[in-house]
């Protein structure tokens, strides 16, 4: 158990819809990262939030956006869903200490299917 939770566990949407995925970080962790894992591939970095501000972004379009809240929870929003957005979405929390983030702890993920 990493203390990181995600909801929902599974989700089915249709193309063009919008979706919000939620993550609750480990208590005290000021940083959250989101990853997309397509079937048979490794996780790909979407973006990171540190103290409620975006702190880096991977190669994902602007329709992928996020929020981080003071209570260690965060959201990943995806607009205008496409079939290729079907994947496992993982969040990971970490503690930034003097600029170092040595270890991240993953949640169980949300499996999104876009039809």
Partner 1 sequence: AQKVTQAQTEISVVEKEDVTLDCVYETRDTTYYLFWYKQPPSGELVFLIRRNSFDEQNEISGRYSWNFQKSTSSFNFTITASQVVDSAVYFCALSVNTNAGKSTFGDGTTLTVKP
**CA distances, 35 to each of 40, 50, 74, 98, 106 (Å):** 14, 15, 13, 24, 10
> Which residues of the shown chain bind partner 1 in the complex (CB under 8 A)?
2, 31-33, 35, 40-45, 48, 56, 58, 88, 90, 92, 94, 99-109, 111
**Least CB distance to partner 1 at residue 99 (A):** 7
In angstroms, what is the minimal distance from the CB of 76 to partner 1? 14
**Closest approach of partner 1 to the CB of residue 50, in Å:** 8
* Residues near 85 by beta carbon (within 8 Å), at least 6 away in sequence: 36, 78, 112, 114
Q: How far is the CB of 92 from partner 1 (least distance, A)?
A: 6
- In the complex with partner 1, which residue's Cβ is closer, 39 or 62? 39
CA 32 from centre of chain: 8
Bridge-partner residues for 46, per DSSP?
A: none
Residue 18 or 54: the one with the smaller Cβ distance to partner 1 is 54
User: Token digits for 75?
Assistant: 């959201």
Residue (2 or 14) nearer to partner 1, CB? 2
Nearer to partner 1, 13 or 50 (CB): 50
User: Could you tell me which residues come within 8 angstroms of residue 13 by beta carbon, excluding any fewer than 6 positions away?
Assistant: 19, 81, 112, 113, 114, 115
């Amino acid at each position: 158990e990493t203390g990181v939770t995600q909801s929902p566990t599974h989700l089915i949407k249709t193309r063009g819809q919008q979706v919000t995925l939620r993550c609750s970080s480990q208590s005290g962790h000021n940083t959250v990262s989101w990853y997309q894992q397509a079937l048979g591939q490794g996780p790909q970095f979407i973006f990171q939030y540190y103290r409620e501000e975006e702190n880096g972004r991977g190669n994902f379009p602007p329709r992928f956006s996020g929020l981080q809240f003071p209570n260690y929870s965060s959201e990943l929003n995806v607009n205008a869903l496409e079939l290729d957005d079907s994947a496992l979405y993982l969040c990971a929390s970490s503690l930034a200490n003097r600029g170092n983030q040595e270890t991240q702890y993953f949640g169980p993920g949300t499996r999104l299917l876009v039809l």
